[in-house]
A and B are shown apart, each in its own frame.
Chain A
Amino acid sequence: MVNSVVKKIVNGDVRVAAKLIRDIDDGAPGTREILKALYRHTGNAYIIGITGAPGVGKSTVADQMVHALRKNGKTVGVLAVDPTSPLSGGAILGDRIRMQRHSLDEGVFIRSLATRGQFGGLTQSTRSAIDVVDAMGKDYIIVETVGVGQDEIDIAKSAHTTVIVVVPGMGDNIQAIKAGIFEVGDIFLINKSDRPDAEKTLNDLKAMIDITRKRFKKEGWEPPILMAEAVGNKGIVELLNEIEKHRKNRKALSRESIIRHKKAIARFELIDMIKSRLVEEALNHIINSLEFKKYLDCIIDGTKDPYSACDELLSAKLNFLEDENTE
């Protein structure tokens, strides 16, 4: 079963690949075994992350990039992540609207993903989805995320080149970027640059890159700031050129620093994977137990405080955890 699924995906079977991504998202049993077998077919695609606040034009930029890459004969996968409603658990995934013209192109695979996960699950399922599309043999994979929150920063770390998209006239836009995602940007794109204040945004970005210049110097790459009007297909060729330059720059690093870089990413991804499985399994183990319900009642009764309930539950259910107070 596993082998035939893997074979089909490697041969580019869209249906089987799409179904696997769905199963990964749904946490269906058996997907892990397939991912294990699929992994050795990955590592060939070049992964580009596109991130930025809602409305800055990420999907339009992605659409134009797909168009340009297809002109060069490259195949492309697009993973477009949209937020899940924290209230209902539902989501509206609307990124395909901007990429309609590629819907009948067999060299393009577009997939929408909802953030869903509550324990860093987004990072895990998106990374697995990247693996699936990678194994399908796509030359490029564009991962589009709303640049808010740790998960999204983590995804950006997995991309080979991360493009941060901003628009002029949104001071808040840059404020949000300050909070962390900024540091993972390899290329900055000021979209809708025909708008007033584009110059000011450029200066703001320059100033901020100055602050983190040290890190960039070490890697021999200073993030360029580009102007674009994605709707009119302006600035996209330049963007792709810079991505190519960044790719070459990565390749040109010394062997040691490439290995160091790879090791850092592998370490980070493995820890992340362990973390999310650990949390998911441990949490399920605890919250589905009778004790959990009992402790919950005790808190409501007022016979137990939540701090003691937490400590006691943990030491009862996860016996390898030592009591904090005995240390």
Chain B
Amino acid sequence: MSNRRRIKVLISVIGLDGHSTGAEIVSRFLMDAGMEVVYLGIYQTPEMIVSAAIQETVDVIGISSHASNYEQIGLLIDLMKKDNLNDIPVICGGTIPKQYAEALIKKGVSKIFPPQSTSESIINYIVSSVKR
């Protein structure tokens, strides 16, 4: 019964960042779109996110960033490569200036959703990026 399959997304805030509202709102509308969201909360290190991604077998990782801690996202990508998790797309949202966003994409982040992004655009991107 493959119709039981659900998209499973990990949502987390990374590093010394306590801005949880964005991540919580995203979690909520992804749930409303029929996805299962493992919500990790704030102050997560790349190691904690990778460990949770493995234990939960998620399809996508979403990182919310509102505290200029882009290096942490880079470290997450490095760690995922090291742990052979690069098949899991990482998407980011929050206040990420354009030049940093470009650098993160180069680094391996799949997609960055700047402020004003619609919930539809995020849902659609996740759906299309998950191998069904």
Instruction: Give residues in A with beta carbon < 8 Å to B.
Output: 14-15, 18-19, 21-22, 25-28, 84-85, 87-94, 96-97, 100, 103-104, 109-112, 114, 116, 280, 284
A93 to B8: give the CA distance in the assembly, Å: 10
The proximity string for B residues 1-45 relative to A, scoring 1 for CB distances below 8 Å and 0 otherwise, is: 110111010000000000000000001101111111111110010
Contact B57 A19 (CB under 8 A): yes
Chain B residues positioned under 8 Å from A93 (CB to CB) = 36-39, 56
The residue that A26 contacts in the complex, of B5, B31, B48, with Cβ under 8 A, is B5
Contact B38 A89 (CB under 8 A): no
Knowing A85-B32, A89-B34, A103-B52, the reply to whether A114 touches B6 (Cβ < 8 A) is yes
Knowing A90-B6, A96-B40, A104-B51, the reply to whether A112 touches B31 (Cβ < 8 A) is no
Q: How far apart are B41's CB and chain A's nearest CB, in angstroms? A: 4
Chain A residues positioned under 8 Å from B40 (CB to CB) = 96-97, 100
Chain B residues positioned under 8 Å from A94 (CB to CB) = 39, 41
Contact A21 B57 (CB under 8 A): yes
Instruction: Give residues in B with beta carbon < 8 Å to A.
Output: 1-2, 4-6, 8, 27-28, 30-41, 44, 47-48, 51-52, 54-57
**Chain B residue nearest to A110 in the complex (CB):** B55
Knowing A26-B4, A93-B39, A109-B55, the reply to whether A88 touches B48 (Cβ < 8 A) is no
**Chain A residue nearest to B42 in the complex (CB):** A97
Contact A18 B54 (CB under 8 A): yes
A107 to B4: give the CA distance in the assembly, Å: 31
Q: How far apart are B50's CB and chain A's nearest CB, in angstroms? A: 9
Chain A residues positioned under 8 Å from B36 (CB to CB) = 84, 90-91, 93, 114
* Total A-B Cβ pairs within 8 A: 89
A21 to B47: give the CA distance in the assembly, Å: 22
Chain A residues positioned under 8 Å from B41 (CB to CB) = 94, 96-97, 100
Chain B residues positioned under 8 Å from A25 (CB to CB) = 4, 6
Chain B residues positioned under 8 Å from A103 (CB to CB) = 47-48, 51-52
The residue that B34 contacts in the complex, of A21, A90, A109, A280, with Cβ under 8 A, is A90
A14 to B50: give the CA distance in the assembly, Å: 12
Chain B residues positioned under 8 Å from A28 (CB to CB) = 2, 5
Contact B31 A284 (CB under 8 A): no
**Chain B residue nearest to A90 in the complex (CB):** B31
Q: How far apart are A45's CB and chain B's nearest CB, in angstroms? A: 17
A22 to B40: give the CA distance in the assembly, Å: 18
**Chain B residue nearest to A98 in the complex (CB):** B41
- Most chain A CB within a 10 A radius of its CB, from B2, B28, B39, B48: B39
The residue that A18 contacts in the complex, of B2, B28, B48, B55, with Cβ under 8 A, is B55
A103 to B50: give the CA distance in the assembly, Å: 9
Q: How far apart are A183's CB and chain B's nearest CB, in angstroms? A: 31
Knowing A14-B54, A18-B55, the reply to whether A27 touches B31 (Cβ < 8 A) is no
A26 to B36: give the CA distance in the assembly, Å: 12
Chain B residues positioned under 8 Å from A89 (CB to CB) = 6, 34
**Chain B residue nearest to A109 in the complex (CB):** B55
**Chain B residue nearest to A94 in the complex (CB):** B39
